[in-house]
Structure 1
Amino acid sequence: MNLMRWSARLTGAPWRVAPPPDDPVALPGPRDPLGSAGSACPEQQSGQERLLDLHELYDLRDVLGRLPAPVAVTYGGRHRLGYANDAYREIFGSCPPGLTAEEAMPELAGLGILPLLDQVLRSGRARSVKARTIPDPTPGGRPRCFNVSCVPLHSNERVGTREGQSPPAIGVLIFAAEVTDQVAAAGRLLAAAQRQREGGETLQRSLLPQKLEQPADLRVAATYQPGGAEAAVGGDWYDVISLRGGRTALVIGDVMGRGLRAAAVMGQLRTAVRAYARLDLPPHQVMGLLDGLAMEIDANQIATCVYAVYDPAAGTLTYASAGHLPLMLRCPDGTVLQGEQQNGPPLGTGDGSHLSHSLRLLPGTTGVLYTDGLVERRDQDIDFGLGQLAHTLAGAIGTPDVVCARLLRAMGVTADHDDDVAVLAFQLPAPVAVPAHEPVPVPETRPSTCEVDSVHQEV
């Protein structure tokens, strides 16, 4: 007996090996996927194989009739109905064959399928539409949704066609798959996401100051624009805090991340800033305290922030930045300056090496604090956005409210914006003009533009 016949098949070796003539053991014959029907063919009995046509095995009309999904077949340029299975008629009613689709199947017009049939015949390629809704005729029934596919049916005749070219389409097979439950589930998820977004936006707005304090020597205004419907709520915030000695603290920040967690962290940081501001600490020390607090709240979530203190007696603005974008100032002569670029690390990193910078401001100076949503775009470098903001601020003349509105409009921030935006604008009152008949006092010698103090304070 030849044992090689029963060994494992090697690569490239046949599954069956013919036995030697003297071996009495018979091998199993070749497997026939068609069973006895195939072996009964005379051609196979004579040693020749024949490929059977699918129609010899199955009745295509019977197969379509057994499908639980609606199926219909149209033919010709006017899409005359040739066949509709039982599932189709159960949903849409009687469909007389031979009539055009517009007459026999008026529901196709409501589903927007009739133009699709023309496209399929012209191009010879399948087309489909998703989640088309039809009303349920039963009382109290909910609407049903279907994904509808239209597949071209080609002729077997290749007369007039080039080699390798498919014959023209002579009809269309329309197949509808019900997705009512999937559409309802997607609607529930969308509604839940919308409720969560509205809850987060309500939380964030409740944590922002409802009314800004208006110091006697400084005019301020702020605006907050949440992201569009596709963007989750963020952690942008701003604040204005009155301090002793007529000074005013101006704060803006941005918690990285999205959702309720970011809004909750924002609320804790804003509350802490108001508490630390009462200690009359320099801005860089306030940043150090906030940095430690941010690590305790969530070591995996960082935030950026600018804390500035305006002293009207000295005419100075002292500030510290924790990884935030630079503040911008428009001097009375129209010159736009950016704040010191050398700032500390974001809050929550534990570094604590923040600096305080001092700016000497002239009456009539306008300043802007903002979050990255105002200047950052996915398809642009952020320097381009900063340059555009500086150009816009140079011509933004008016009260802080007007300045905020103009900046949002010029920077393209709309209700569909993909990120939250917070802007805090402040303005020093311009000097009061003195009538010509009154004596003009000699003004104190001061610089003609905004000055940056050369003294920086470090932790």
Structure 2
Amino acid sequence: MRWSARLTGAPWRAATPAASGEPVTVPGPRDPSATPGLLDLRDIHELYDLRNVLGRLPAPVAVTYGPLHQLGYANSAYRELFGERTNGLPAGEALPELTALGVLPLMDQVIRSGRPRSVKARCILGLGGSRYYNVACVPLGSEEEPGPPVGVLIFASEVTDQVQAATRLREAERRQREAAVTLQRSLLPQKLEQPADLRVAATYQPGGAEAAVGGDWYDVIGLGGGRTALVIGDVMGRGLRAAAVMGQLRTAVRAYARLDLPPHEVMRLLDGLAMEIDANQIATCTYAVWDPEPGTLLYASAGHLPLLLRCPDGTVLRGEEQNGPPLGTGGGTHLSHTLRLLPGTTGVLYTDGLVERRDEDIDQGLDLLARALGGAVGGPDVVCARLLRAMGVTSEHDDDVAVLAFQLSAEQAAEAPLDSGSAEV
């Protein structure tokens, strides 16, 4: 038995005449000019009345016409929201709510340009609380094409729930940011140690309200024999987690500094610790030890930006020595480098927020910072303030910034001979 599918309402198809030996009649080609079954525009208007369609919409809709935007129609949703409106009056009188929403200028633009315009999340007061709407203004075509629009259709869609959700999200982000900033500041040293032969100043500037707080930190640690450790670091990432990791690394640096290890060994220990804290969280760091006896700065860097030095004659030098990999990557080799510093030398350690810009190569930022340091005459606190100002860092900056400046006393003398592999600046 043969089965076949049959669509509802379709006639049964007769058996093929060829099976009974009857002649087969093939239909002729269809006339392409004939389009039976299509409705012309008048038929559509008869089937679908525009007022009936707009009246069924749950969203507020109004139609105006002419350069004065005289009200021609407002559906029931519009009248329920704003009250009864008088047809024929200009929109400025008939639809005062559009003036409050700033929509009337958009309607003028629609009439002039023939293109739709819209505004988002406009607040309407006095409707049982604040309610927000997206409002679209669409041109209505003229009967004689081409020509300017004869009117404007105004369509409002309520977005109160979305706006309130976004407001709650922003408030939660604000509270989290404030908590991160508080944690970050509490973990930074409240007062820097000031060695007799080295003046030190530092500053921390959190990012603006739209920027999440990162894990920038600095520290000054007094060591035995009159030596001083200078530290700058930056935990990648944002928020409370980055600030917490920063606090752990800063505490570890202070503990490792007491072991009297060379900088590259401190970096090796920090690298292992960073992997234990969070294998997905890496950090950059520079650890330097100033020794006044020979007048040398011994330092190592774990993926951090280069140290900048301004010599007594105003020349600015950039540390170009090989960097080790960032902390938390594991298995890297870090090296210690030695510099002989002349009396009156000023040095700057900083995080990437000071020099990195989204639309510029970072080398441009480094060059600008070097020029700014060359002209930043004064004590370390003055140097920090001038560098922030020169680099355009404000309270609305898009990233955290930490700067640590140190300055040798002009009377500091370096009597010992240079060690092998050291450089004098």
Task: Report the TM-score, using the length of structure 2 for normalisation.
Answer: 0.89
Q: Does 1:118 align with 2:108?
A: yes
Q: What is the SS of the residue equivalent to 1:210? A: coil
Q: Does 1:421 align with 2:394?
A: no
Match of 1:343 among 323, 336, 361: 323
Contact 1:319–1:358 (Cα < 8 Å) also in 2: yes
Contact 2:339–2:422 (Cα < 8 Å) also in 1: no
Contact 2:294–2:416 (Cα < 8 Å) also in 1: no
Within a 5 Å distance, the mapping from 1:28-177 to structure 2 comes to: 48-51=36-39, 53-137=43-127, 141-158=128-145, 161=146, 167-177=147-157
Contact 1:330–1:367 (Cα < 8 Å) also in 2: yes
The aligned counterpart of 1:33 is none
| Paired-residue identity, % | 75
Instruction: Please state how far the C-alpha of 1:58 moved relative to its aligned partner.
Output: 2.5
Larger mean CA deviation between 204-213 and 423-432 belongs to 423-432
Within a 5 Å distance, the mapping from 1:198-237 to structure 2 comes to: 198-237=178-217
For residues 452 and 77 of structure 1, the distance between their equivalents in structure 2, rounded to whole angstroms, comes to 86
For residues 367 and 452 of structure 1, the distance between their equivalents in structure 2, rounded to whole angstroms, comes to 21
Contact 1:373–1:419 (Cα < 8 Å) also in 2: yes
Q: What is the SS of the residue equivalent to 1:320? A: strand
Instruction: Please state how far the C-alpha of 1:431 moved relative to its aligned partner.
Output: 2.6
Q: What is the SS of the residue equivalent to 2:150? A: strand
The residue type paired with residue 199 of structure 1 is: A
User: Once the two structures are superposed, what CA deviation does each residue of 1:74-120 show, in whole Å capped at 9, x if it has no partner?
Assistant: 00111100011121112212211010000111111110010011111
Could you tell me which runs of 5 or more consecutive residues in structure 2 were left unpaired when the two chains were aligned.
Answer: 7-11, 21-34
For residues 419 and 155 of structure 2, the distance between their equivalents in structure 1, rounded to whole angstroms, comes to 73
The residue type paired with residue 123 of structure 2 is: T
User: Once the two structures are superposed, what CA deviation does each residue of 1:312-365 show, in whole Å capped at 9, x if it has no partner?
Assistant: 122111111111111111111111112242121111122242111111111111
The aligned counterpart of 1:270 is 250
Contact 2:321–2:337 (Cα < 8 Å) also in 1: no
The aligned counterpart of 1:387 is 367
Contact 1:200–1:263 (Cα < 8 Å) also in 2: yes
For residues 62 and 173 of structure 2, the distance between their equivalents in structure 1, rounded to whole angstroms, comes to 38
Instruction: Please state how far the C-alpha of 1:171 moved relative to its aligned partner.
Output: 0.5
The aligned counterpart of 1:313 is 293
Q: What is the SS of the residue equivalent to 1:260? A: helix
The residue type paired with residue 454 of structure 1 is: G
Q: What is the SS of the residue equivalent to 2:356? A: coil
Instruction: Please state how far the C-alpha of 1:286 moved relative to its aligned partner.
Output: 1.0
Q: Does 1:431 align with 2:414?
A: no
Q: What is the SS of the residue equivalent to 1:183? A: helix
The aligned counterpart of 2:25 is none
The residue type paired with residue 397 of structure 1 is: V
Could you tell me which runs of 5 or more consecutive residues in structure 1 were left unpaired when the two chains were aligned.
Answer: 9-15, 25-46, 162-166, 433-442
The aligned counterpart of 1:252 is 232
Q: What is the SS of the residue equivalent to 2:336? A: strand
For residues 50 and 323 of structure 2, the distance between their equivalents in structure 1, rounded to whole angstroms, comes to 75
Larger mean CA deviation between 99-108 and 375-384 belongs to 375-384
User: Once the two structures are superposed, what CA deviation does each residue of 1:181-240 show, in whole Å capped at 9, x if it has no partner?
Assistant: 111111001111111111111111111111111111111000111122222111110000
Seen in structure 2, the aligned counterparts of structure 1 residues 195 and 6 have a Cα distance that, compared at 3 Å, is same
Task: Report the TM-score, using the length of structure 1 for normalisation.
Answer: 0.82
For residues 36 and 302 of structure 2, the distance between their equivalents in structure 1, rounded to whole angstroms, comes to 84
Question: What is the alpha-carbon root mean square deviation over aligned residues?
Answer: 2.6
